[in-house]
Structures are given as C-alpha cells and as structure tokens.
Structure 1
Amino acid sequence: MVMFQKTCLALLMLPTIAAADPASKVTLIENPFNEVVRKGTEISGARLVGFLSAPTGRLEGNSIEVAAAIPVAWRGQSLCLKVVSADGLYESRNTYRVAPDWGGGRVVLSYPSTHEAEALAYPGSQIAGLVSLGDCRKPQPLVAPISWGRGGGDTLSILLNTARSEETFLTFPEEPDLEDVACEAIASDLRTAFDTRCDLPRELAVRSAIEVVVISFKNGEMGPEERLNLQFGAVP
C-alpha cells in the first residue's frame, strides 16, 4: 500500500519534457521574500489552508525545499504560494510568475527563507501549504498541491481550519464511485491556523482536477458546505 501511494504521488508531481528547465519557468517576483515569525497567533478566516504532501516528522538536512505541481493552464499567469504552521506563528506568502511557455508539471520553487531554523523546527504534520492561481493580493479559488521537503510524504492531504469541529468529511459530488473521506484532528495542542487533516484517496492520482465538498459537524449541527476546486498539475 505504501509503495502504491508513493507511485501515485510520483505521477501527480511528474515533471514533463515540455518543461526541460522548470526552475526558470516559474519565478519568484517578491523582493524581499514575505515571511514572518510571530510571537503571538493571529486568527485567520481561511477554511482551506493546505493541499500538500509532507513527511510526518521533521525535514532532513538544514534547508527547505518546496515544489509545486502547476497545471499547464496556468501558463503566463501569477500564482500565490502560502505556507503556515499549525500554531500560526510561522507564515510565508509570496507571488510567482509562470512563463508563457510552461508545459505543466512539477517545479521546485525558489524559497529564500531567512527563518529556516524556525520553519524546520516544525514536523511536516504541522505545516500546511498550497499554491493558488492569481497573485497573493487576490488569489483565486483554484488551488494546486505542493510538496514540503525533498520528495514530500507518502500521502496527499487537505488541511482545514474547521473551528474545532467534532467531525469533518470530504465528498465528491462529481465522482459517485468515490467513498466519502473521514478527516482527522491534527495531533497538536496549538491548532490556530488549521486543526483538521483529510488524506485524499489514491484514485485521484489519475485526475487532472476535481471538485470536493467539505462538510463539518459541531455540537451536533452541520455547518455550511464549502466547495474546493483542486487542480493536480497534470498535463493534458
């Protein structure tokens, strides 16, 4: 099962021949790099906080590597990379530009952190991140996955801020053959930025995009549904 999951993730983040030099195709346009380490937490209203694969433990080595699976349809446009810790104390938010001839696939993003020690102190299970279409001043609802650390982890996950809901589920209205996903609470006492993890089924590895509906229950009552448009960076 673990080997199959790794194979699926490799397919999801597979680079393409069209992007022979992918590092030059997606460029960081922020200067300086937008990154902060807070002394106190800030409440965020965002529901979807992460769409990524990451190791559960701390990153090996002493440097951060962030890669993204960027759809070919995003060529010539801006994207926003957001990374945040579960306690909300570490956060980065930066805009990148995708080249007009981008061929789709996986690319390692420039991440010139000046707070590597603080970021690396968190295990991968307490880091969330994603890329969204559009610059960081006004990102759009289309999101694509990142990997945190070299190679990421064994599972692609969605990380949510559910305001400490007791139960959260993912449903797939366009894919009736897919079973609902029961999400789990993050194992941390400090869950300000996100509190829930949902591991995506391996069947999604063959799709380029899918709509996901998030349903949460708190105090026995169902909260409002939220629809997520997940892009997997696959090349058509």
Structure 2
Amino acid sequence: MTLIENPFNEVVRKGTEISGARLVGFLAAPSGRPEGDAVEVAAAIPADWQGQPLCLKIVSADGLYESRNAYAVAPDWVGGRADLSYPSTHEKEALAYPGSQIAGLVSLGDCRQSLGQVAPIFWGRNVETGFAVLLNTARSDETFLTFPDQPDLEDVTCEATRSELRTAFDTRCDLPPGVVAMGTIEAVVVSFKNGEMGPEEHLSLRFGAAP
C-alpha cells in the first residue's frame, strides 16, 4: 500500500464538528490504549481492490481527532492484511484514546467518493479478532444489524458506546465471529427512536482476501 497524501491529512480540533455519516467504523481494536508510542494501523484489503485507490478514515468518539488519507493498492495485490503507513504528527493525542473510543475503516475509492464497499482496519499492535461496526445513530433508542442474505446469522443487537462525548459515533455492533470466513457480507442497519423506525442503512462489508 502506498500513501498518496502529502502532507498527511490529520487534525486535532478544539471543538467538535458534527458529521452526517452513519457508518463511521469497521475495525478491530483493543479496549484500552494501544501498545507503544507510535500509531500502528493495518487493514484487511480484498484482492479485487488491486490497482485502485482506497481511503483510510479515523475519528475519535468526541470528534476532536480525525485523519483521512488515500492510499494506492498495488496492481499485483493478492488480498489479505497489510500495514498502512501512518506518519502521524499527533501520536500523543491519537494514542490517548482507548480503542473503544476510536473508529476507523477503509473504503474503496479515494476520499472524495461516497462510501461503497468497506473493509476493516486493525487499530494498534497485535490486534487480530473481534470486529465491530461503529455507527452514528443520532442517539437512537435501539439499533439492530441484520443480514438478509444470510438467514443462518442471527441479528445483532447493538449497544451504546461507553463515552461521555459521543459526537462522531454513539453505537457499537459486535459482529459474529463466523462472518469473517464469508468474505463479503451485506448488512442492514435498523434504528428506532421514540418508537419510530428510522431509514435503513445498507452496508457492504468486506473481509480481506475473498472477492
């Protein structure tokens, strides 16, 4: 993976900015602070993304730390996990957040395109399993993740994230372990607020090597 952005696009804000994005994270991260003094990021990148750009987006729950950078996938990429160059100049601020308060994902296409296919990232060293989807549901009362094309998978009941400031995302959906082997999962987010169902959000989740 080759980092395209120069300089690296990263910001630490004094005040929050509200984003309209519903899907904010698709990742595996430690519950506490990552190990080490440098930000380490990897991603599970599908084989059929070869030769195309991808966008890595990272944001803290309070919205004060954010980065957004494009990378080029090698033309001969065969799929799997890859380390992503992350030349942060704000390591102290980024690493101050526990993994539970960081969201991130990679999406196919450069950072100017709307989200389509997304793949998970690994935030921190020695993080292997436990993928979760992080959402901004505008403080919905209940949120569920369903898998219409996989009737054997049970719906996921999502939970509110444990953070005082939940500006960028407020809900966590832990994915069943078996979905990783499926390669591609089509999921639907359904939220309820004050007894009313909000609009559905369709997600195309990719898991690395499988096309």
For normalisation by structure 1, the TM-score amounts to 0.88
Matched, 1:158 2:133: yes
The root-mean-square deviation of aligned C-alpha atoms, in Å, is: 0.9
Cα deviation for residue 138 of structure 1 reads 1.4
CA distance in structure 1 between the aligned counterparts of 2:35 and 2:185, rounded to whole angstroms: 32
Cα deviation for residue 235 of structure 1 reads 3.9
Structure 1: 5+ residue runs without aligned partners?
A: 1-25
Q: Which residue of 1 aligns with 2:150?
A: 175
Give the aligned residue type for 1:215. Answer: V
Q: Which residue of 2 aligns with 1:123?
A: 98
Q: Which residue of 1 aligns with 2:110?
A: 135
Q: 2:184–2:210: 8 Å Cα contact kept in structure 1?
A: no
CA distance in structure 2 between the aligned counterparts of 1:204 and 1:59, rounded to whole angstroms: 25
CA distance in structure 1 between the aligned counterparts of 2:171 and 2:128, rounded to whole angstroms: 17
Q: Which residue of 1 aligns with 2:70?
A: 95
Q: 2:34–2:98: 8 Å Cα contact kept in structure 1?
A: yes
Which of residues 214, 220, 226 is equivalent to 2:189? 214
Q: Residues 220, 153 of structure 1: CA spacing in aligned structure 2 closer, same or farther, 3 A cutoff?
A: farther
Cα deviation for residue 152 of structure 1 reads 2.1
Q: Which has the higher helix share?
A: 1
**What is the DSSP-based 3-state SS (H/G/I as helix, E as strand, rest coil) of the residue aligned with 1:73?**
helix
Q: Deviations over 1:2-37 (max 9, x none)?
A: xxxxxxxxxxxxxxxxxxxxxxxx100100000000
Give the aligned residue type for 1:93. Answer: R
Q: Deviations over 1:180-201 (max 9, x none)?
A: 0000000111000000000000
Which of residues 193, 198, 206 is equivalent to 1:223? 198
For normalisation by structure 2, the TM-score amounts to 0.98
CA distance in structure 2 between the aligned counterparts of 1:165 and 1:151, rounded to whole angstroms: 33
CA distance in structure 2 between the aligned counterparts of 1:235 and 1:229, rounded to whole angstroms: 13
**What is the DSSP-based 3-state SS (H/G/I as helix, E as strand, rest coil) of the residue aligned with 2:152?**
coil
Cα deviation for residue 61 of structure 1 reads 1.4
CA distance in structure 2 between the aligned counterparts of 1:168 and 1:94, rounded to whole angstroms: 29
Aligned length, in residue pairs = 211
Structure 2: 5+ residue runs without aligned partners?
A: none
CA distance in structure 2 between the aligned counterparts of 1:205 and 1:151, rounded to whole angstroms: 18
Give the aligned residue type for 1:214. Answer: V
Instruction: Summarize the alignment of residues 60-71 of structure 1 with structure 2, pairs less than 5 Å apart.
Output: 60-71=35-46
Matched, 1:109 2:84: yes
Cα deviation for residue 67 of structure 1 reads 0.2
Q: Which residue of 2 aligns with 1:51?
A: 26
Cα deviation for residue 154 of structure 1 reads 4.1
Give the aligned residue type for 2:33. Answer: R
Give the aligned residue type for 1:53. Answer: A
Q: 1:55–1:153: 8 Å Cα contact kept in structure 2?
A: no
CA distance in structure 1 between the aligned counterparts of 2:40 and 2:102, rounded to whole angstroms: 13
Which is further off, 83-92 or 200-209? 200-209
Cα deviation for residue 212 of structure 1 reads 0.2
CA distance in structure 1 between the aligned counterparts of 2:171 and 2:210, rounded to whole angstroms: 30
Matched, 1:75 2:39: no
Which is further off, 135-144 or 80-89? 135-144
CA distance in structure 2 between the aligned counterparts of 1:173 and 1:138, rounded to whole angstroms: 26
**What is the DSSP-based 3-state SS (H/G/I as helix, E as strand, rest coil) of the residue aligned with 2:88?**
coil
**What is the DSSP-based 3-state SS (H/G/I as helix, E as strand, rest coil) of the residue aligned with 1:206?**
helix
Percent of aligned positions that are identical: 75
